[in-house]
């Protein structure tokens, strides 16, 4: 017991605090100092309290509460069980760091009044927490919609830019299409009882057909929010459009609420699991992951790169859930627990490192005013804090030991290695391919991250103004440090973290991993048995540190201070200029070649006699042209057909009612006789 009292009361208290802070922000609409220096740090503190309450809730029995708000006879049912508590922890802990950063990030005189931003931001946080706590469909949908709306207004903060308005519209559209699917899913789950509480849905025994219908609707609805493959188009538009702390919150935290919803429906509300659901999720997830990472490598906007990387991580999470479903459907609970643990670990890990990376792009953006990688470079010398913190995030993101990303990806690959135990030979043949795809994705993610870090922070500044870049302020540093600390801690102490994930997996698949994982001491992670696989992060840390130290010493001894001779023939260039460095586009070019079928490339080649040749390649998404534009055209066509009815002539409208009247009179049963 850390806080004392019921955890759910603390969680509700934090939600109330966030709402009050938001309203205070509205009251102090243009008082910048008050909003930035008082309200946002208080919000961060509330996030910390929420994280503690969640940890306490994770270790205790489920707690319920009923809030008499909303329509009469329809109160909000809330419930804090381990699954909810785990996601609350992620929201609280990541939200704490992001709020701290935001306190220093929002500047005076940036269009939208700071108080309004503060209101939308805290409403966003509160509704995310409420989504996780909700225990009936009504409360869930209310929270889900207020989450979508508040984030829409945050995305369109700079609404004067037409592209941002378009991105916001796309986001809102897909979010609502998804919300309809979720609503329908709850409609199927309540099985005609008319009772929309989750408690009722849990006891319903649906036939396999209806259970599959509910599951597919959930995949569509939550997939729209998470950015799963055909529904991903809004994500690379909307996440970069928002201010950086909001991008961090959306990418790092909001996407996880979709994963939460999928877990809630798939493992908790549905009483049975079918194996093909798992295979479907696995295929969708891997396609999404590969697609996301390939697109991430060819981006030249730093925030878009991170947004595509988020798509990739969502894909990995989905694959892990799919694998857990497959194992669960065949009754192999220990392996299901392993895959589910990998998924939840990655949820936490991605929340921290992706938030951290988005925050560093925010600092870079403020210091330089540039988000195009082609105009950045060499910032490590001018912004050392940001650069080193970004390096931690980059390590975690590319899955390097001993950082957090490695543990989750390693656990995921471990669970793939056990698929030969499945009783289905078809799956046995296909799943190794899936494992290969995961490995490919992880490698390409590393490639994308090298590009991200290398082009922004290493080398020489590509523009003169970059030399005036300044490092992040106090609050920004504090926020990023908090997130970076989690990236390191999750990497170094996996067994501790798995102990907190255990209550969730025990509840969802009936078995935990912690005992086995820590069987050989707290410092060694052995998910199955010590003979098969083990990972001691501390050894890795020592090894990496030792290797670095030795390299440093060797360089100092043998290389440093020696006389350097220039090459006799330097291609006519006696020294290196910033323009000779590898550019973002150049770095992504091999990937563009190898994975050419993924992209829709539009090349503009100069004419042979052109005096000022100009070469341009536009990389765009095939789904946009292949799926979305045809749908948009079909909608326009149908709308034009309906538009024909609208002649604008009163006589025509009167004729419509006249004909309707005649038709109705004809339908009078007496006439037929």
Partner 1 sequence: MTTLISQLINLFAAVILMLSFAMLAQRRILSLIHLFALQGLAVVGATTVVAYVTDQHHLYYSAALTLALKVFLIPWLLHRLIDRLNVRWDIETLINIPSTMLIGIVLVVFAFNLALPISQLSAAITRGTLGIALASVLLSFMMMIIRSKAVPQVIGFLAMENGLFFAATSATHGMPMVVELGIALDVLVGVFILGVFMFQIREQFDSLDIRHLENLKED
Tell me whether residue 73 or residue 646 sits nearer to partner 1 (CB atom): 646
Tokens of 634: 């079909």
Tell me whether residue 624 or residue 658 sits nearer to partner 1 (CB atom): 658
Residue 662 Cβ vs partner 1, minimum distance, rounded to whole Å: 7
- The candidate with the shortest Cα–Cα distance to 133, out of 13, 273, 219, 228, is 13
Residue 654 Cβ vs partner 1, minimum distance, rounded to whole Å: 5
Residue 652 Cβ vs partner 1, minimum distance, rounded to whole Å: 9
Identify the H or E element spanning 341: helix 333-368
Tell me whether residue 569 or residue 663 sits nearer to partner 1 (CB atom): 663
Strands (DSSP E) along 50-177, which ranges? 63-67, 76-80
Residue 651 Cβ vs partner 1, minimum distance, rounded to whole Å: 5
- The candidate with the shortest Cα–Cα distance to 19, out of 109, 103, 124, is 124
Pairwise CA distance, residues 153 & 132, whole Å:
21
Residue 203, class by beta-carbon neighbours within 10 Å (0-12 exposed, 13-18 middle, 19+ buried)? Answer: exposed
Tell me whether residue 609 or residue 650 sits nearer to partner 1 (CB atom): 650
Site for partner 1 in 275-304 (CB under 8 A): none
Tell me whether residue 71 or residue 668 sits nearer to partner 1 (CB atom): 668
Residue 669 Cβ vs partner 1, minimum distance, rounded to whole Å: 9
Tell me whether residue 4 or residue 648 sits nearer to partner 1 (CB atom): 648
Residue 29 three-state SS? coil
Q: How many of the chain's residues bind partner 1 (CB under 8 A)? A: 16
Residue 634 Cβ vs partner 1, minimum distance, rounded to whole Å: 21
User: What is the dihedral sign for C-alpha 440, 442, 445, 446?
Assistant: negative
Tell me whether residue 72 or residue 648 sits nearer to partner 1 (CB atom): 648
Are 282 and 319 within 8 A, CB to CB? Answer: yes
Other beta carbons within 10 angstroms of residue 420's beta carbon come to 11
Tell me whether residue 572 or residue 670 sits nearer to partner 1 (CB atom): 670
C-beta contacts of 296-299 below 8 A and 24+ residues apart = 296/444, 296/445, 296/448, 297/444, 297/447, 297/448, 297/451, 297/588, 297/591, 298/585, 298/588, 298/591, 298/592, 298/599, 298/619, 299/373, 299/584, 299/588
Residue 641 Cβ vs partner 1, minimum distance, rounded to whole Å: 15
Site for partner 1 in 246-265 (CB under 8 A): none
Query: In this structure, what is the dihedral angle of CA atoms 255, 257, 263, 264, given to the nearest 10 degrees?
Result: -160
Tell me whether residue 552 or residue 653 sits nearer to partner 1 (CB atom): 653
Residue 635 Cβ vs partner 1, minimum distance, rounded to whole Å: 18
Site for partner 1 in 634-673 (CB under 8 A): 646-651, 654-655, 658, 661-662, 665, 668, 670-671, 673
- The candidate with the shortest Cα–Cα distance to 205, out of 294, 113, 272, 126, is 272
- The candidate with the shortest Cα–Cα distance to 98, out of 474, 472, 365, 356, is 356
Residue 372 Cβ vs partner 1, minimum distance, rounded to whole Å: 39
Which residues would be at the binding site for partner 1 (CB under 8 A)? 646-651, 654-655, 658, 661-662, 665, 668, 670-671, 673
């Amino acid at each position: 017991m850390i806080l004392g009292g019921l955890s759910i009361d603390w969680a509700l208290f934090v939600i109330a605090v966030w709402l009050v802070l938001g309203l205070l922000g509205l009251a102090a609409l243009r008082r910048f100092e008050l909003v930035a220096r008082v309200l946002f740090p208080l919000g961060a503190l509330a996030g910390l309290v929420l994280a503690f309450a969640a940890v306490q809730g994770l270790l205790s029995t489920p707690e319920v509460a009923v809030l008499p708000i909303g329509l009469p006879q329809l109160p909000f049912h809330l419930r804090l069980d381990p699954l909810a508590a785990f996601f609350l922890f992620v929201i609280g802990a990541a939200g704490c760091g992001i709020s701290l950063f935001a306190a220093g990030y929002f500047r005076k005189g940036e269009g939208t009044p700071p108080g309004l931003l503060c209101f939308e931001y805290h409403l966003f946080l509160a509704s995310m927490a409420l989504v996780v706590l909700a225990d009936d469909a009504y409360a869930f949908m209310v929270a889900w919609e207020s989450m979508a709306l508040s984030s829409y207004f945050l995305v369109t903060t700079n609404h004067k830019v037409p592209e941002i308005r378009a991105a916001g519209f796309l986001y809102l559209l897909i979010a609502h299409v998804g919300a309809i699917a979720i609503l329908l899913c709850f409609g199927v789950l309540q099985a005609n009882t008319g009772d929309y509480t989750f408690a009722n849905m849990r006891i319903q025994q649906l036939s396999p057909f209806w259970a599959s219908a509910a599951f597919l609707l959930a995949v569509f609805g939550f997939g729209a929010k998470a950015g799963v493959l055909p529904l991903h188009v809004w994500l690379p538009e909307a996440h970069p459009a928002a201010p950086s702390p909001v991008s961090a919150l959306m990418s790092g935290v909001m996407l996880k609420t979709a994963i939460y919803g999928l877990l809630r429906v798939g493992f908790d509300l549905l009483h049975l699991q079918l194996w093909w659901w798992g295979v479907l999720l696995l295929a969708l997830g891997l396609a999404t992951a590969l697609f996301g990472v390939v697109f991430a490598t060819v981006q030249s906007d730093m925030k878009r790169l991170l947004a595509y990387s988020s798509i990739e991580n969502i894909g990995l999470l989905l694959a892990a859930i799919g694998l857990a479903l497959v194992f669960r459907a065949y009754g192999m609970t220990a392996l299901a627990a392993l895959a589910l643990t990998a998924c939840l670990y990655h949820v936490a890990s991605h929340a921290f490192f992706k938030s951290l990376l988005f925050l560093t792009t925010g600092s870079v953006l403020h210091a330089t005013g540039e988000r195009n990688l082609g105009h950045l470079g060499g910032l490590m010398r001018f912004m050392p804090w940001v650069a080193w913190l970004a390096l931690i995030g980059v390590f975690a993101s590319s899955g390097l030991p001993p950082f957090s990303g490695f543990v989750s990806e390693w656990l995921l690959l471990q669970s793939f290695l056990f698929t030969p135990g499945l009783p289905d030979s078809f799956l046995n043949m296909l799943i190794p391919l899936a494992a290969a795809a995961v490995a490919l994705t992880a490698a390409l993610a590393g490639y994308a991250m090298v590009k991200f870090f290398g082009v922004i922070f290493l080398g020489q500044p590509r523009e003169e103004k970059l030399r005036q870049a300044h490092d992040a302020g106090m609050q920004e540093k504090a926020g990023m440090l908090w997130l970076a600390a989690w990236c390191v801690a999750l990497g170094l102490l996996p067994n501790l973290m798995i102990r907190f994930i255990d209550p969730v997996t025990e509840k969802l698949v009936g078995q935990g991993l912690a005992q086995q994982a820590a069987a050989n001491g707290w410092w060694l992670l052995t998910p199955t048995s010590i003979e098969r696989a083990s990972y001691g992060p501390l050894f890795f840390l020592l090894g990496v540190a030792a290797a670095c130290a030795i390299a440093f010493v060797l360089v100092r001894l043998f290389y440093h201070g020696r006389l350097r001779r220039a090459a006799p023939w330097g291609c006519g260039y006696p020294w290196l200029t910033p323009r000779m460095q590898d550019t973002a586009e150049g770095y992504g070019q091999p990937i563009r070649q190898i994975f050419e079928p993924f992209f829709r490339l539009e090349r503009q080649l100069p004419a042979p006699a052109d005096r000022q040749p100009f070469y341009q390649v536009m990389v765009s998404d095939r789904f946009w042209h292949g799926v979305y534009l045809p749908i948009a055209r079909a909608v326009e066509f149908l709308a034009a057909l309906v538009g024909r009815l609208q002649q604008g002539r009163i006589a025509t409208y009167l004729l419509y009612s006249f004909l309707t009247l005649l038709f109705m009179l004809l339908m009078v049963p007496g006439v037929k006789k």
